[in-house]
Amino acid sequence: MSYENPKSIQAVVLDWAGTVVDFGSFAPTQIFVEAFREFGVAISLEEARGPMGTGKWDHIRALCNEPQIANRYAERFGRRPTNDDVTAIYKRFMPLQIEKIAEHSGLIPGALDAVAVLRARGIKIGSCSGYPVCVMERVVALAKANGYVADHVVATDEVPNGRPGPAQALSNVIALGVDDVAACVKVDDTVPGVLEGRKAGMWTVALTCSGNALGLSYDAFRALPPDRLSAERVRIGASFAAARPHFLIDTIADLPGVIEAIEGRLAAGHMPQAC
């Protein structure tokens, strides 16, 4: 028995917010702002977007580690935020997130068509998110009502260590019966999500315009002048550079063409770990 490179893609592991639903990834970021506000600490939407892609407790911890936010917290409470403070903010964040998630549950334009093309090629659809189970249950139900159902879902609190570690992506490999990680593609709009795919040994696709990095609604994205959009693509591409995504595309609508390109690379003997 000898090893043979896979010749085709068996599964795609999709992120949720900013990838399949919630163009601009507004649901998690706005709730961070609201949760901190309830503790008397102001953070901006731009600050809230910084650690996007990690689990939500880790995201809040990262925000509290930012010197400017830690200083504001200290001005309010007379000390810098501890892990107990992070947990208190997280416990307020969760019900707010569940309450507000429906406001940003719309499917990203082109998502259903792209998924249909992949399924027609026999590709399974895995998924994972920085959301915990209690939020993912709501996200999955709303997506199903809009016509999208993944073959498998892994929330961040269903594995020992979430992004940027590979556990969620690899959980999809096991659940979907994929026999080679090189036959998988991880698609995400955040650096931790791309690193997740890289560390899992998968092909990786970074989304530049539908998610956290651009942070605009679909209408605002479509209204960008061509020169501004080009500049944003360059800026966002540079922000992903250290994570080394194999491909950069605007939105999931562009994914079927990338799958063809990846299968071309596989046919030529290329492997994601070596690219």
Active site residue 7: no
Four-point Cα dihedral 97, 98, 100, 101, nearest 10: 100
Please name the residues in contact with 269: beta carbons below 8 A apart, sequence gap of 6 or more.
Answer: 5
Strand order in the sheet with 124-127: 124-127, 11-14, 184-188, 203-207, 247-249
- Choosing from 56, 58, 85, 189, the catalytic residue is 56
Neighbours of 96 (CB within 10 A): 15
DSSP count for the chain of H helices, then E strands: 12, 5
**Could you confirm whether 189 is annotated as catalytic?**
no
* Residue 249: φ, ψ to 5°: -135, 165
Instruction: Say if CB 183 and CB 139 are below 8 A apart.
Output: no
Cβ–Cβ under 8 Å, residues 47 and 69: yes
Show the 3-state SS of 124-143.
Answer: EEEEECCCCHHHHHHHHHHH
User: Of all residues in the chain, what percent are helix, strand and coil, respectively (each to 5)?
Assistant: 55, 10, 35
Q: Where are the alpha helices (DSSP H) in the chain?
A: 26-38, 45-49, 56-65, 67-77, 83-100, 111-120, 133-145, 167-176, 191-199, 218-223, 226-240, 255-267
Omega before residue 164 within 30° of 0, cis = yes
Question: Where in the sequence numbering do the catalytic residues fall?
Answer: 15, 56
